[in-house]
Amino acid sequence: MLASKRIILGVTGGIAVYKAVDLASRLKKEGAEVRVIMTEAAAAFVQPLTFRAISGNPVHLHRFEEPRVWNVEHIGLAENADLIIVAPATANILACMALGRAPDLLSTVLLAARGPILVAPAMNTAMYMHPATQEHLALLRARGVAVAGPEEGDLACGSAGAGRMSEPADIVAAARSLLERGGRLAGRRALVTAGGTRERIDPVRYIGNFSSGKMGYAVAGALAAAGAAVTLVSAPAALSVPPGVRRVEVESALQMREAVLADFAGSDIVVMAAAVADYRPVEPAAQKIKKQGGDITLTLTENPDILAELGRRKQNRVLVAFAAETERGRERAEAKLRRKNADFIVLNDVTRPGAGFGTDTNIVAFLYPEGQAREFPLMSKQEVAERITEEIIRLFYKGERK
Ligand SMILES: Cc1cc2nc3c(=O)[nH]c(=O)nc-3n(C[C@H](O)[C@H](O)[C@H](O)COP(=O)(O)O)c2cc1C
Protein backbone atom coordinates (compact mmCIF):
# COMPACT_ATOMS: atom_id res chain seq x y z
CA MET A 1 0.00 0.00 0.00
CA LEU A 2 2.82 2.42 0.78
CA ALA A 3 5.06 1.40 -2.13
CA SER A 4 6.06 4.45 -4.19
CA LYS A 5 3.71 6.70 -2.20
CA ARG A 6 5.08 10.19 -1.65
CA ILE A 7 4.98 10.78 2.06
CA ILE A 8 5.99 13.94 3.88
CA LEU A 9 7.11 13.22 7.42
CA GLY A 10 6.79 16.35 9.55
CA VAL A 11 8.93 16.11 12.67
CA THR A 12 8.34 18.55 15.54
CA GLY A 13 10.19 19.27 18.73
CA GLY A 14 9.42 16.68 21.38
CA ILE A 15 11.44 14.01 23.11
CA ALA A 16 9.75 11.36 20.95
CA VAL A 17 11.72 12.64 17.92
CA TYR A 18 14.00 9.63 18.26
CA LYS A 19 11.03 7.37 17.48
CA ALA A 20 10.43 9.33 14.26
CA VAL A 21 13.80 8.05 13.06
CA ASP A 22 12.47 4.49 13.33
CA LEU A 23 9.22 5.61 11.65
CA ALA A 24 11.10 7.13 8.68
CA SER A 25 13.07 3.91 8.33
CA ARG A 26 9.91 1.75 8.39
CA LEU A 27 8.23 3.94 5.76
CA LYS A 28 11.29 3.60 3.54
CA LYS A 29 11.29 -0.18 4.01
CA GLU A 30 7.66 -0.26 2.85
CA GLY A 31 8.82 1.39 -0.37
CA ALA A 32 7.56 4.92 0.31
CA GLU A 33 9.36 7.99 -1.01
CA VAL A 34 9.95 9.95 2.20
CA ARG A 35 10.60 13.69 2.48
CA VAL A 36 11.29 14.97 5.96
CA ILE A 37 10.42 18.47 7.14
CA MET A 38 11.80 19.32 10.58
CA THR A 39 10.88 22.25 12.76
CA GLU A 40 13.73 24.20 14.32
CA ALA A 41 12.79 22.77 17.71
CA ALA A 42 12.98 19.21 16.30
CA ALA A 43 16.46 19.92 14.97
CA ALA A 44 17.52 20.77 18.53
CA PHE A 45 16.74 17.15 19.51
CA VAL A 46 18.08 15.20 16.50
CA GLN A 47 20.47 16.21 13.76
CA PRO A 48 18.78 16.65 10.35
CA LEU A 49 21.59 14.53 8.95
CA THR A 50 20.04 11.45 10.63
CA PHE A 51 16.82 11.89 8.66
CA ARG A 52 18.72 12.73 5.50
CA ALA A 53 20.65 9.48 5.72
CA ILE A 54 17.52 7.41 6.39
CA SER A 55 15.18 9.04 3.89
CA GLY A 56 17.83 9.44 1.19
CA ASN A 57 16.51 12.95 0.56
CA PRO A 58 17.55 16.40 1.75
CA VAL A 59 15.76 17.47 4.91
CA HIS A 60 13.63 20.59 4.67
CA LEU A 61 14.16 22.87 7.59
CA HIS A 62 13.45 26.52 6.89
CA ARG A 63 10.79 28.26 4.92
CA PHE A 64 13.20 30.62 3.19
CA GLU A 65 15.93 28.22 2.18
CA GLU A 66 16.98 28.25 -1.47
CA PRO A 67 14.50 26.10 -3.39
CA ARG A 68 16.27 23.46 -5.39
CA VAL A 69 13.73 21.00 -6.70
CA TRP A 70 10.49 22.80 -6.03
CA ASN A 71 9.22 26.00 -7.64
CA VAL A 72 7.34 27.42 -4.71
CA GLU A 73 8.57 25.11 -2.05
CA HIS A 74 5.70 24.89 0.39
CA ILE A 75 3.06 24.58 -2.32
CA GLY A 76 5.20 22.11 -4.25
CA LEU A 77 5.73 19.93 -1.20
CA ALA A 78 2.04 20.00 -0.30
CA GLU A 79 0.84 19.26 -3.82
CA ASN A 80 3.21 16.41 -4.43
CA ALA A 81 2.41 14.43 -1.31
CA ASP A 82 0.06 11.46 -1.15
CA LEU A 83 0.07 11.70 2.64
CA ILE A 84 1.52 13.94 5.33
CA ILE A 85 2.41 12.38 8.68
CA VAL A 86 3.31 14.60 11.61
CA ALA A 87 5.14 12.50 14.22
CA PRO A 88 5.77 13.45 16.89
CA ALA A 89 3.16 16.19 16.81
CA THR A 90 3.75 18.77 19.54
CA ALA A 91 0.95 20.66 21.28
CA ASN A 92 2.34 23.65 19.37
CA ILE A 93 1.93 22.20 15.85
CA LEU A 94 -1.58 20.95 16.70
CA ALA A 95 -2.44 24.52 17.77
CA CYS A 96 -0.97 25.94 14.54
CA MET A 97 -2.97 23.46 12.44
CA ALA A 98 -6.21 24.10 14.33
CA LEU A 99 -5.84 27.88 14.08
CA GLY A 100 -4.50 27.98 10.53
CA ARG A 101 -1.21 29.57 11.62
CA ALA A 102 1.81 29.18 9.37
CA PRO A 103 4.95 30.51 11.07
CA ASP A 104 7.40 28.02 9.52
CA LEU A 105 7.78 25.59 6.61
CA LEU A 106 5.99 22.59 8.16
CA SER A 107 2.94 24.57 9.30
CA THR A 108 2.81 26.33 5.91
CA VAL A 109 2.88 23.01 4.05
CA LEU A 110 0.13 21.68 6.32
CA LEU A 111 -2.01 24.72 5.60
CA ALA A 112 -1.48 24.36 1.84
CA ALA A 113 -2.16 20.60 1.83
CA ARG A 114 -5.38 19.19 0.41
CA GLY A 115 -4.63 15.48 0.79
CA PRO A 116 -4.82 13.20 3.85
CA ILE A 117 -2.98 14.15 7.04
CA LEU A 118 -2.13 11.86 9.95
CA VAL A 119 -0.84 13.26 13.24
CA ALA A 120 0.71 11.35 16.15
CA PRO A 121 0.53 13.61 19.22
CA ALA A 122 3.25 13.22 21.85
CA MET A 123 3.48 15.30 24.96
CA ASN A 124 3.31 15.42 28.72
CA THR A 125 -0.10 14.34 30.10
CA ALA A 126 -0.99 17.78 31.45
CA MET A 127 -0.29 19.36 28.04
CA TYR A 128 -2.34 16.64 26.33
CA MET A 129 -5.27 16.93 28.72
CA HIS A 130 -5.31 20.74 28.60
CA PRO A 131 -8.64 21.96 27.17
CA ALA A 132 -6.77 23.93 24.50
CA THR A 133 -5.04 20.79 23.16
CA GLN A 134 -8.24 18.74 23.40
CA GLU A 135 -10.24 21.39 21.55
CA HIS A 136 -7.58 21.66 18.85
CA LEU A 137 -7.60 17.89 18.36
CA ALA A 138 -11.41 17.80 18.20
CA LEU A 139 -11.35 20.55 15.59
CA LEU A 140 -8.73 18.73 13.51
CA ARG A 141 -10.68 15.46 13.68
CA ALA A 142 -13.83 17.26 12.58
CA ARG A 143 -11.89 18.53 9.56
CA GLY A 144 -10.90 15.00 8.64
CA VAL A 145 -7.36 14.87 10.05
CA ALA A 146 -6.55 11.34 11.24
CA VAL A 147 -5.08 11.04 14.72
CA ALA A 148 -2.94 8.10 15.84
CA GLY A 149 -2.73 7.72 19.62
CA PRO A 150 -1.39 8.96 21.95
CA GLU A 151 -0.97 5.95 24.20
CA GLU A 152 -0.87 5.72 27.97
CA GLY A 153 2.38 4.76 29.60
CA ASP A 154 5.67 6.02 31.00
CA LEU A 155 6.63 9.37 29.55
CA ALA A 156 10.13 10.66 28.93
CA CYS A 157 9.47 13.54 31.34
CA GLY A 158 9.39 11.00 34.17
CA SER A 159 5.61 10.88 34.73
CA ALA A 160 3.08 8.31 33.54
CA GLY A 161 -0.24 8.86 31.75
CA ALA A 162 -1.71 9.66 28.34
CA GLY A 163 0.63 11.41 25.94
CA ARG A 164 3.13 8.80 24.75
CA MET A 165 3.55 8.74 20.97
CA SER A 166 2.09 5.69 19.24
CA GLU A 167 4.63 3.06 18.28
CA PRO A 168 6.07 3.58 14.78
CA ALA A 169 4.58 0.23 13.63
CA ASP A 170 1.12 1.46 14.65
CA ILE A 171 1.62 4.78 12.85
CA VAL A 172 2.63 2.89 9.70
CA ALA A 173 -0.53 0.75 10.04
CA ALA A 174 -2.67 3.89 10.46
CA ALA A 175 -1.02 5.42 7.36
CA ARG A 176 -1.72 2.27 5.38
CA SER A 177 -5.38 2.21 6.35
CA LEU A 178 -5.74 5.93 5.63
CA LEU A 179 -4.36 5.55 2.11
CA GLU A 180 -6.43 2.44 1.59
CA ARG A 181 -9.59 4.18 2.74
CA GLY A 182 -9.03 7.28 0.60
CA GLY A 183 -10.98 6.69 -2.58
CA ARG A 184 -12.18 3.20 -1.65
CA LEU A 185 -15.77 4.37 -2.10
CA ALA A 186 -15.12 6.44 -5.23
CA GLY A 187 -18.00 6.05 -7.67
CA ARG A 188 -20.35 4.79 -4.92
CA ARG A 189 -23.43 6.62 -3.74
CA ALA A 190 -24.32 6.90 -0.07
CA LEU A 191 -27.51 8.06 1.56
CA VAL A 192 -27.31 9.20 5.18
CA THR A 193 -30.07 10.50 7.44
CA ALA A 194 -29.43 12.71 10.45
CA GLY A 195 -31.07 14.91 13.05
CA GLY A 196 -34.34 14.68 14.92
CA THR A 197 -37.62 15.07 13.05
CA ARG A 198 -40.24 17.61 14.10
CA GLU A 199 -43.93 16.74 14.06
CA ARG A 200 -46.16 19.79 13.95
CA ILE A 201 -48.83 20.29 16.61
CA ASP A 202 -49.88 23.72 15.31
CA PRO A 203 -48.08 26.43 13.26
CA VAL A 204 -45.73 27.31 16.17
CA ARG A 205 -45.23 24.07 18.11
CA TYR A 206 -43.88 20.62 17.42
CA ILE A 207 -43.00 17.30 19.01
CA GLY A 208 -39.25 16.80 18.70
CA ASN A 209 -36.38 14.92 20.30
CA PHE A 210 -32.87 15.67 21.57
CA SER A 211 -30.94 14.41 18.52
CA SER A 212 -28.35 17.02 17.46
CA GLY A 213 -27.49 15.37 14.13
CA LYS A 214 -23.77 15.27 15.02
CA MET A 215 -23.40 11.50 14.57
CA GLY A 216 -25.10 11.42 11.15
CA TYR A 217 -23.18 14.47 9.90
CA ALA A 218 -19.91 12.87 11.00
CA VAL A 219 -20.81 9.66 9.10
CA ALA A 220 -21.72 11.68 5.99
CA GLY A 221 -18.34 13.48 6.20
CA ALA A 222 -16.38 10.25 6.70
CA LEU A 223 -18.10 8.53 3.75
CA ALA A 224 -17.42 11.57 1.54
CA ALA A 225 -13.77 11.55 2.65
CA ALA A 226 -13.62 7.92 1.48
CA GLY A 227 -14.76 9.06 -1.97
CA ALA A 228 -18.52 8.33 -1.89
CA ALA A 229 -21.05 10.76 -3.38
CA VAL A 230 -23.11 11.45 -0.27
CA THR A 231 -26.67 12.74 0.07
CA LEU A 232 -27.50 13.76 3.60
CA VAL A 233 -31.21 13.89 4.35
CA SER A 234 -31.25 16.07 7.41
CA ALA A 235 -33.96 16.95 9.89
CA PRO A 236 -33.28 20.38 11.49
CA ALA A 237 -29.71 20.49 12.87
CA ALA A 238 -27.50 23.46 13.71
CA LEU A 239 -24.51 22.01 11.87
CA SER A 240 -22.59 22.93 8.74
CA VAL A 241 -22.59 20.56 5.77
CA PRO A 242 -19.38 18.45 5.65
CA PRO A 243 -17.19 19.03 2.57
CA GLY A 244 -18.40 17.24 -0.54
CA VAL A 245 -21.82 16.34 0.90
CA ARG A 246 -25.17 17.27 -0.70
CA ARG A 247 -27.76 18.12 1.95
CA VAL A 248 -31.52 17.77 1.55
CA GLU A 249 -33.35 19.50 4.39
CA VAL A 250 -36.58 18.08 5.75
CA GLU A 251 -38.67 18.63 8.87
CA SER A 252 -41.05 15.74 9.60
CA ALA A 253 -40.87 11.95 9.41
CA LEU A 254 -43.16 11.94 6.37
CA GLN A 255 -40.91 14.42 4.54
CA MET A 256 -37.87 12.39 5.51
CA ARG A 257 -39.48 9.24 4.09
CA GLU A 258 -40.20 11.00 0.81
CA ALA A 259 -36.65 12.38 0.48
CA VAL A 260 -35.08 9.04 1.40
CA LEU A 261 -37.20 7.09 -1.07
CA ALA A 262 -36.34 9.58 -3.83
CA ASP A 263 -32.63 8.80 -3.39
CA PHE A 264 -32.74 5.17 -2.33
CA ALA A 265 -32.84 3.53 -5.77
CA GLY A 266 -29.51 5.02 -6.84
CA SER A 267 -27.68 4.39 -3.57
CA ASP A 268 -25.18 1.65 -2.70
CA ILE A 269 -24.88 2.50 0.98
CA VAL A 270 -27.60 3.65 3.37
CA VAL A 271 -26.94 4.83 6.92
CA MET A 272 -29.99 5.71 8.98
CA ALA A 273 -28.71 7.86 11.83
CA ALA A 274 -31.72 10.19 12.16
CA ALA A 275 -33.99 10.08 15.19
CA VAL A 276 -37.33 9.72 13.46
CA ALA A 277 -40.49 10.34 15.49
CA ASP A 278 -42.57 7.19 15.96
CA TYR A 279 -45.77 9.22 16.24
CA ARG A 280 -47.19 12.47 14.86
CA PRO A 281 -50.30 14.47 15.70
CA VAL A 282 -53.18 13.14 13.61
CA GLU A 283 -54.21 16.55 12.39
CA PRO A 284 -52.00 19.59 13.17
CA ALA A 285 -54.16 22.57 14.19
CA ALA A 286 -54.42 25.21 11.46
CA GLN A 287 -54.13 28.02 14.02
CA LYS A 288 -52.10 28.38 17.21
CA ILE A 289 -53.81 26.45 20.00
CA LYS A 290 -54.93 28.84 22.77
CA LYS A 291 -55.19 28.19 26.50
CA GLN A 292 -58.64 26.90 27.20
CA GLY A 293 -58.38 26.20 30.94
CA GLY A 294 -57.94 22.54 31.86
CA ASP A 295 -56.27 19.64 30.07
CA ILE A 296 -56.27 19.05 26.35
CA THR A 297 -55.71 15.80 24.51
CA LEU A 298 -53.42 15.39 21.56
CA THR A 299 -54.16 12.35 19.43
CA LEU A 300 -51.10 10.80 17.80
CA THR A 301 -50.87 8.41 14.92
CA GLU A 302 -47.99 6.11 14.07
CA ASN A 303 -45.46 7.25 11.47
CA PRO A 304 -44.36 4.89 8.69
CA ASP A 305 -41.27 2.81 9.55
CA ILE A 306 -38.75 4.10 6.97
CA LEU A 307 -35.98 1.72 7.99
CA ALA A 308 -38.19 -1.37 7.76
CA GLU A 309 -39.37 -0.25 4.34
CA LEU A 310 -35.77 0.13 3.12
CA GLY A 311 -34.83 -3.19 4.72
CA ARG A 312 -37.42 -4.98 2.59
CA ARG A 313 -36.02 -3.38 -0.59
CA LYS A 314 -32.38 -3.59 0.42
CA GLN A 315 -31.06 -6.06 -2.23
CA ASN A 316 -27.24 -5.87 -2.19
CA ARG A 317 -26.93 -2.44 -0.61
CA VAL A 318 -25.09 -2.01 2.69
CA LEU A 319 -27.70 -0.88 5.20
CA VAL A 320 -26.66 0.46 8.60
CA ALA A 321 -29.14 1.23 11.38
CA PHE A 322 -28.78 3.08 14.67
CA ALA A 323 -30.43 2.28 17.95
CA ALA A 324 -30.61 4.74 20.83
CA GLU A 325 -31.83 2.83 23.85
CA THR A 326 -32.40 3.67 27.49
CA GLU A 327 -32.93 0.12 28.81
CA ARG A 328 -32.25 -3.46 27.71
CA GLY A 329 -30.26 -1.91 24.83
CA ARG A 330 -28.59 -5.03 23.48
CA GLU A 331 -31.76 -7.08 23.40
CA ARG A 332 -33.83 -4.35 21.79
CA ALA A 333 -31.16 -3.43 19.25
CA GLU A 334 -30.77 -7.09 18.25
CA ALA A 335 -34.51 -7.39 17.74
CA LYS A 336 -34.52 -4.17 15.67
CA LEU A 337 -31.60 -5.43 13.57
CA ARG A 338 -33.45 -8.63 12.67
CA ARG A 339 -36.74 -6.86 12.02
CA LYS A 340 -35.18 -4.25 9.74
CA ASN A 341 -32.82 -6.49 7.74
CA ALA A 342 -29.79 -4.21 8.31
CA ASP A 343 -26.16 -5.36 7.87
CA PHE A 344 -25.29 -4.09 11.30
CA ILE A 345 -26.75 -1.80 13.92
CA VAL A 346 -24.87 0.83 15.90
CA LEU A 347 -26.15 0.69 19.45
CA ASN A 348 -25.71 3.62 21.78
CA ASP A 349 -26.98 3.56 25.31
CA VAL A 350 -28.06 7.19 25.63
CA THR A 351 -28.14 7.01 29.43
CA ARG A 352 -24.33 6.62 29.73
CA PRO A 353 -22.23 9.77 30.36
CA GLY A 354 -20.43 10.79 27.15
CA ALA A 355 -22.87 8.89 24.90
CA GLY A 356 -25.95 9.78 22.94
CA PHE A 357 -27.65 13.05 22.12
CA GLY A 358 -25.86 16.38 21.73
CA THR A 359 -22.44 15.19 22.99
CA ASP A 360 -19.28 15.22 20.87
CA THR A 361 -18.45 11.72 22.04
CA ASN A 362 -20.22 8.40 21.93
CA ILE A 363 -19.95 4.89 23.35
CA VAL A 364 -21.17 2.39 20.78
CA ALA A 365 -21.31 -1.28 19.93
CA PHE A 366 -21.79 -2.76 16.45
CA LEU A 367 -24.21 -5.69 16.49
CA TYR A 368 -24.44 -8.16 13.61
CA PRO A 369 -27.28 -10.42 12.43
CA GLU A 370 -25.23 -13.55 13.20
CA GLY A 371 -25.14 -12.50 16.85
CA GLN A 372 -21.56 -11.15 17.09
CA ALA A 373 -20.88 -7.77 18.69
CA ARG A 374 -17.96 -5.33 18.66
CA GLU A 375 -17.86 -2.98 21.62
CA PHE A 376 -15.90 0.27 21.53
CA PRO A 377 -14.67 2.54 24.31
CA LEU A 378 -15.63 6.23 24.59
CA MET A 379 -14.64 7.87 21.29
CA SER A 380 -15.34 11.13 19.49
CA LYS A 381 -18.28 10.95 17.08
CA GLN A 382 -15.72 11.58 14.33
CA GLU A 383 -13.84 8.42 15.33
CA VAL A 384 -17.08 6.45 15.55
CA ALA A 385 -17.93 7.69 12.04
CA GLU A 386 -14.54 6.48 10.78
CA ARG A 387 -15.06 3.03 12.33
CA ILE A 388 -18.49 2.84 10.71
CA THR A 389 -17.00 3.84 7.35
CA GLU A 390 -14.25 1.21 7.64
CA GLU A 391 -16.87 -1.41 8.44
CA ILE A 392 -19.02 -0.34 5.49
CA ILE A 393 -15.99 -0.61 3.20
CA ARG A 394 -15.24 -4.09 4.55
CA LEU A 395 -18.83 -5.24 3.99
CA PHE A 396 -18.99 -3.57 0.62
CA TYR A 397 -16.00 -5.41 -0.76
CA LYS A 398 -16.98 -8.71 0.82
CA GLY A 399 -18.51 -11.35 -1.45
CA GLU A 400 -20.80 -10.39 -4.25
CA ARG A 401 -20.53 -6.62 -3.80
CA LYS A 402 -16.91 -6.60 -5.02
C1 LIG B 1 13.35 19.06 26.62
C2 LIG B 1 12.04 19.47 25.98
C3 LIG B 1 11.13 18.51 25.65
C4 LIG B 1 9.90 18.83 25.06
N5 LIG B 1 9.01 17.85 24.75
C6 LIG B 1 7.83 18.18 24.21
C7 LIG B 1 6.89 17.17 23.86
O8 LIG B 1 7.11 15.98 24.05
N9 LIG B 1 5.71 17.56 23.31
C10 LIG B 1 5.40 18.86 23.10
O11 LIG B 1 4.29 19.14 22.62
N12 LIG B 1 6.28 19.83 23.38
C13 LIG B 1 7.47 19.53 23.93
N14 LIG B 1 8.38 20.53 24.25
C15 LIG B 1 8.04 21.91 23.92
C16 LIG B 1 8.28 22.18 22.45
O17 LIG B 1 9.59 21.84 22.08
C18 LIG B 1 8.00 23.66 22.14
O19 LIG B 1 6.61 23.91 22.32
C20 LIG B 1 8.43 24.06 20.74
O21 LIG B 1 8.14 25.43 20.55
C22 LIG B 1 7.70 23.24 19.70
O23 LIG B 1 8.04 23.69 18.42
P24 LIG B 1 7.57 22.93 17.12
O25 LIG B 1 6.14 22.57 17.31
O26 LIG B 1 7.78 23.96 16.04
O27 LIG B 1 8.46 21.76 16.93
C28 LIG B 1 9.61 20.19 24.82
C29 LIG B 1 10.56 21.17 25.15
C30 LIG B 1 11.74 20.82 25.71
C31 LIG B 1 12.75 21.91 26.04
In terms of Cα–Cα distance, which of 332, 378, 384 is closest to 353? Answer: 378
Which residue's CA lies nearest to atom 11 of ligand 1? 90
**Closest approach atom of ligand 1 to CA 93:** 25
Q: Which atom of ligand 1 is nearest to the CA of 107?
A: 26
pLDDT at residue 242 in the model: 82
The pLDDT value recorded for residue 311 is 94
Question: Which of 105-134 are b and which e, b meaning 16 or more Cβ less than 10 Å from the residue's Cβ?
Answer: bbbbbbeebebbbbbbbbbbbebbeeeebe
Ligand 1 pocket, 197 CB below 6 A? no
Cβ–Cβ under 8 Å, residues 361 and 354: yes
Which pLDDT belongs to residue 401?
47
**384 Cβ below 6 A of ligand 1:** no
- In the chain, what are the helix, strand and coil shares in percent, each to the nearest 5? 35, 25, 40
What confidence tens digit (pLDDT) does each residue in 20-38 have? 999 999 999 999 999 999 9
Ligand 1 probe mutation, 11, 45, 92, 97, most atoms within 8 A of CB: 92
Q: Please tell me the distance between residue 184's alpha carbon and the centre of ligand 1 in angstroms.
A: 36
The alpha carbon of 133 and the centre of ligand 1 are apart by a number of angstroms equal to 14
Distance of CA 128 from the midpoint of ligand 1 (Å): 12
Nearest CA to ligand 1 atom 26: 39
Ligand 1 touching residue 13 (CB < 6 A)? yes
Query: Where does CATH 3.40.50.10300 sit in the chain?
Result: 189-401
Of ligand 1's atoms, which has the minimum distance to the CA of residue 90? 11
Catalytic residue among 157, 248, 285, 395: 157
Give residue-wise pLDDT tens across range 331-368.
888 888 888 999 999 998 788 887 777 788 888 999 99
Q: 349 has which bridge partners? A: 325
Select the CATH number that applies to the domain covering 189-401 from these four: 3.40.50.300, 3.10.20.30, 3.90.700.10, 3.40.50.10300: 3.40.50.10300
How would DSSP label each residue in 274-338?
-B--SEEESS--SSPPPP-SS-----EEEPP-HHHHHHHT-TTSEEEEEEEESSSHHHHHHHHHH
pLDDT value at position 328? 81
Phi, psi at residue 123, to the nearest 5°? Answer: -170, 175
122/87 Cα distance (integer angstroms): 8
CA of 122 to the centre of ligand 1 (A): 9
Which residues of the chain are under the pLDDT cut of 50?
69-71, 400-402
CATH match for 6-181 among 3.40.1710.10, 3.40.190.10, 3.30.110.30, 3.40.50.1950: 3.40.50.1950
Give residue 400's pLDDT: 47
What local confidence, expressed as pLDDT, does residue 63 receive? 56
96 flagged as catalytic: no
What's the confidence (pLDDT) of residue 70?
47
All CATH 3.40.50.1950 domain ranges in the chain, comma separated = 6-181
CA atoms of 394 and 391, how far apart (whole Å):
5
Supply the pLDDT for residue 399: 53
